[in-house]
Structure 1
Amino acid sequence: MKFSALVFIVLFFCATFNVNAQYLDQMSKQLYQPSDLKKDIDLVKTTLEREHPNLYLYIPKKALDYKFDSLRKTIDKPITSIALYIKLQRVISSIGDGHLTVEIDYSKFTSQDIAFLKKPSLQHPIYQFGYYVTGKRLFITKNLSADSTIIKGTEIMSINEVPATRLIDSLYSYITSDGYNTTYKKHLMNNAGLFAERYRFLFPGKEPLDISLKSSGTSRKIKLAARQEKGFDSIGGMPPPTTEYRTLSADQNVAYLKLRTFYNEPNFVGYEGVFADIEKRKPKALVIDLRGNTGGELIWAARIYSHLLDIPRYFYRLPDEIKQQRKLYDNPKIRNWVDSTPKSNYQMIQPYSFTFKGKIYVLIDGGSFSSSSLLAANLKNLKNVTLVGEETGGSKNIFTAGVHKSVTLPHSQLLLKYGNIPAYFGDITNIDGRGVMPDIPITYQIEDYLAGKDLELDWVLKDIVKTVDLNN
């Protein structure tokens, strides 16, 4: 699942301001009759029932039907598309499919929309801090408020008398993820600004926030008021390259490969040059960093796999293997798909002409999602691989992606996006809705985060010294 920063800003701006833009006008100001919006809700439900193969893998049909029925009952007066978006989000997130989303079609933004977003506006107070969620605790990582005495690392105990623990639980329910996984939600909270954005969903008013803080054992209360701030600025720096490769030691015995995404640009030449250099330098250890890689094109994940294999292997579980997993195979949609899919449809990944056979460390976290998590699940089966970090955001056993489809809801003009092809991998004997677990779990404290430490890489470098023979 990919989030657009522009969408966040739209949701922030257009709910309460006197919008002078075209598409934003429609989404934030136009009121739709309950009968029309209920038709949109019904279209979401019937589309998923017809086309989503894993719709009831993590939620029973009766429970999901109840959620849709309850949602319809809440639409008892005219509301905007933005309001429907917020309501739908909670139902969609309960399905447990991180690739399934309801979105605003920001491709329809006009030049007037963009110009409006760049104007200074009265911001909701929640945006004056940066936030870090760890477990059920909430910390401040950036202070943009007028009170300079609030330092980084200050813990937020409550906002408007609502404890941080309850806020985090509530906001999580508005974020989609695979199965019962929470690390992907935490990743989005911390790295995509979703704590502030989701808080804004639940509490849209701009009145001052009463916030209870705790720092160095001392508690205090502050009142955070809304203030005028500069709007969205679409001009930014160049994004970092999708792939970063370097050596980590002077003797060049440790190679490091950072894969930020598998959405590679059209002129991307592949990974052959990287592994040609690895073949030339002959490092003893290779670190593959998948942290924050939310996925992309499966072909590129498979290419990486081909450079690390010992023998030919499949990237997915075959139909005969899926039949052994009763929870999957008892699902009529999955059974029909499995029974009609020949083994010849599956491509076996062949080892590349050069494959790295030294020690491999794979760094993973909650941001390792979709094809990135799939790669981690396959690498975990190799004997020379150690996974370091935290549970991946993507499912260890199954996700629903393949050909992504989108349906425009005719009245609200929201987009329903979903995959319709299931992919199975990992341990077929235990489908539990969790991600790929690390061999070496790493946990960050707020002090580590603020200090910019890389605990995963620190552990790897120490382990290389202890376990890898760097002299031969």
Structure 2
Amino acid sequence: MTTIKRQKMNRLYKILLLLLASINICSAQTIEKASDNTPKVIECPLLKQDFVIFRTQLQKSYPSLYRFNSKKNIDRLFDNYFLSINKNTTQIDFLAEIKLVLSYLQDGHFYAGASPELKQYFDENAKVFPLQIRFINDNAYVVCSKKESLLPETEILSINGIQINEIKEKLFQYIVSDGKIETKKYVILNNNFWFYYRLVYGEQSDFKIEYKSKDNKIKTINLSSELYKNTECKNQKPDPDKYLSIDYKKGGIALLTIKTFNGEIFDQTKENYILFLEQTFKEIKDKKIDNLIIDLRGNGGGRDTYGSLLYSYLTNTPFEYYTSLESTSQKLTKNDLSSYKPKENPSEDYFRGRNNLATQKPSLNNFAGKVYILIDGMSFSTTAEFCAIAKSNNRALFIGEETGGGYFGNTSGNAVELVLPNTQIYVSIPTTKYVLSVKKDKYSNRGILPDYKITPTINEYIQDKDVQLEFALKLADQKTKK
């Protein structure tokens, strides 16, 4: 038996012993009867069984368990949590713990979702925090509310005696993100505060809210919890009709907006990404444009080849994109391409991004002028990869907020879709570790940091003022006049 196989057997044997030893602890518990409008309570042995399945699948399929943490720390995390499962608990509480474990692994491509039964509970029965709020750094503000007593822009100081920044830090522990990046956590929390607050702090009938009024006086108000459907704002932005656009501004400035790299979305909107870039950069050349702004805010990624193709229009020399792709069983580099044989079923092929291991060529009509790229916490996955290559090659100035995706790469690709049998919690596990061909950076666990950090104030956000784009346009105009 090889050393690796022996280690795996020892690990599985240890897990089995822990599972058997815990049954006596769990068996003394009696299952509680859940009503139709409360989350289902799961027996302790079944929770342990689900956790073992979850852990085993992670170790089998996820190649980046130790990308940001040592093996010793990860094993301790798994063992300690397993031993802490000693009583019956609800699906919500177990979902929270799964999210906590995934967040510790520091990968924004993980996803853990509620069972259909639990989703129905959240949609129809869960009483939640009644305000929609937005965090800007360590402060939180009301965005919209059906409670006339708390107007938009009101600053929330505490909820039920807990300071708002402490609440934010607590909830951050349950939200996945690449490395130590927080901008993506902010986006998720801003859109789902009600959910994460309920997940972590439990259901509460009312909330004592401390806030700062417009005259800067500290006041308190008590608000009752509400069904989520009764808290929704009506000013939600609809999905755009088009995800690709080019706009020409005064002073020889072009604004290229790419809202996604997702090929399936382009199929729905009947947009041809490859043809769009080809036509757009030819047009930019014909118009003799000197300054190009690329807006990638909110672009959560998509096909990795779309990122390298975009960069090929910003360079006139060959370039490297990935240095390696890695699964739990194989590592692929540029030197392995000639001998690599992809699986017959494309959905089972870990290395769909292998074309980006080869040296990439510049595209015809590539742009030689100045480039400014707008980024934020939802500039993720493929988008962050493109930004990392542009940053590493000093090809652009970045404006906005740190990307949600990491500078050195990510773990994504095909995902293992796992439904835990007893709690019915859904977990998505990425299976390919992507390593980008970028220069060294002082941070190993951060995204692409902006050259100009521009964060809208709460007033600018509510008034829908695009201060990041305004800054980019002024900067480009200044560079043109020099």
TM range (shorter): 0.7 to 0.9
Rounded Cα–Cα distance in structure 2 between residues aligned with 1:42 and 1:184: 29
Task: Kindly provide the CA deviation profile for residues 266-297 of structure 1, in whole angstroms up to 9, marking residues without a partner as x.
Answer: 24311233333323333221111111111112
Alignment-mate amino acid for residue 38 of structure 1: K
User: What do you get for the CA RMSD once the two structures are aligned?
Assistant: 3.1
CA distance 1:222–1:90, change in 2 (3 Å): same
SS of residue in 2 equivalent to 1:317? strand
Rounded Cα–Cα distance in structure 1 between residues aligned with 2:188 and 2:201: 19
Whether 2:71 is the aligned partner of 1:73: answer no
Aligned to 1:416: 427
- When normalised by structure 1's length, the TM-score is 0.80
Aligned to 2:210: 212
Question: Map of 1:28-427 to 2, 5 A cutoff?
Answer: 29-104=39-114, 124-126=127-129, 128-145=130-147, 148-190=148-190, 193-215=191-213, 216-227=215-226, 230=229, 239-241=239-241, 243-250=243-250, 253-264=252-263, 265=265, 266=267, 267-270=270-273, 271=276, 272-317=278-323, 337=331, 342=336, 345=354, 346-425=357-436, 426-427=438-439
Rounded Cα–Cα distance in structure 1 between residues aligned with 2:369 and 2:107: 36
| Contact 1:123–1:206 under 8 Å retained in 2 | no
Alignment-mate amino acid for residue 53 of structure 1: P
| Contact 1:122–1:227 under 8 Å retained in 2 | no
CA distance 1:424–1:412, change in 2 (3 Å): same
- When normalised by structure 2's length, the TM-score is 0.79
Bigger drift between 208-217 and 443-452 goes to 443-452
**Percent of residue pairs bearing the same amino acid type:** 26
> 1:430 Cα deviation (Å)?
4.7
Bigger drift between 224-233 and 47-56 goes to 224-233
Task: Kindly provide the CA deviation profile for residues 192-226 of structure 1, in whole angstroms up to 9, marking residues without a partner as x.
Answer: x2222100112232311001001231110000113
Rounded Cα–Cα distance in structure 2 between residues aligned with 1:17 and 1:154: 38
| Contact 1:291–1:367 under 8 Å retained in 2 | yes
| Contact 1:243–1:257 under 8 Å retained in 2 | no
Rounded Cα–Cα distance in structure 1 between residues aligned with 2:40 and 2:203: 19
> 1:417 Cα deviation (Å)?
1.1
> 1:248 Cα deviation (Å)?
4.3
SS of residue in 2 equivalent to 1:402? strand
SS of residue in 1 equivalent to 2:42? coil
CA distance 1:202–1:438, change in 2 (3 Å): same
> 1:117 Cα deviation (Å)?
8.1
Number of equivalences: 421
| Contact 1:357–1:384 under 8 Å retained in 2 | no
Rounded Cα–Cα distance in structure 2 between residues aligned with 1:156 and 1:406: 38
Whether 2:479 is the aligned partner of 1:467: answer yes
Rounded Cα–Cα distance in structure 2 between residues aligned with 1:186 and 1:341: 40
Rounded Cα–Cα distance in structure 1 between residues aligned with 2:441 and 2:335: 21
Rounded Cα–Cα distance in structure 1 between residues aligned with 2:228 and 2:409: 43
Aligned to 2:452: 440
Rounded Cα–Cα distance in structure 2 between residues aligned with 1:151 and 1:203: 25
Unaligned residue ranges in structure 1 (runs of 5+): 1-15, 20-27, 320-331
> 1:335 Cα deviation (Å)?
11
SS of residue in 2 equivalent to 1:349? coil
> 1:157 Cα deviation (Å)?
0.8
SS of residue in 1 equivalent to 2:415? strand
Task: Kindly provide the CA deviation profile for residues 120-156 of structure 1, in whole angstroms up to 9, marking residues without a partner as x.
Answer: x566341x222111222111111222xx232221111
Alignment-mate amino acid for residue 446 of structure 1: I
Bigger drift between 71-80 and 130-139 goes to 71-80
Rounded Cα–Cα distance in structure 2 between residues aligned with 1:87 and 1:141: 29
Rounded Cα–Cα distance in structure 2 between residues aligned with 1:104 and 1:246: 39
Alignment-mate amino acid for residue 127 of structure 2: H
Bigger drift between 334-343 and 371-380 goes to 334-343
Alignment-mate amino acid for residue 378 of structure 2: G
Task: Kindly provide the CA deviation profile for residues 46-96 of structure 1, in whole angstroms up to 9, marking residues without a partner as x.
Answer: 222232222122222232233323333343333343332112111110000
Task: Kindly provide the CA deviation profile for residues 316-338 of structure 1, in whole angstroms up to 9, marking residues without a partner as x.
Answer: 1359xxxxxxxxxxxx9889626
Rounded Cα–Cα distance in structure 1 between residues aligned with 2:284 and 2:331: 41
| Contact 1:125–1:209 under 8 Å retained in 2 | no
| Contact 2:292–2:371 under 8 Å retained in 1 | yes
> 1:314 Cα deviation (Å)?
1.8
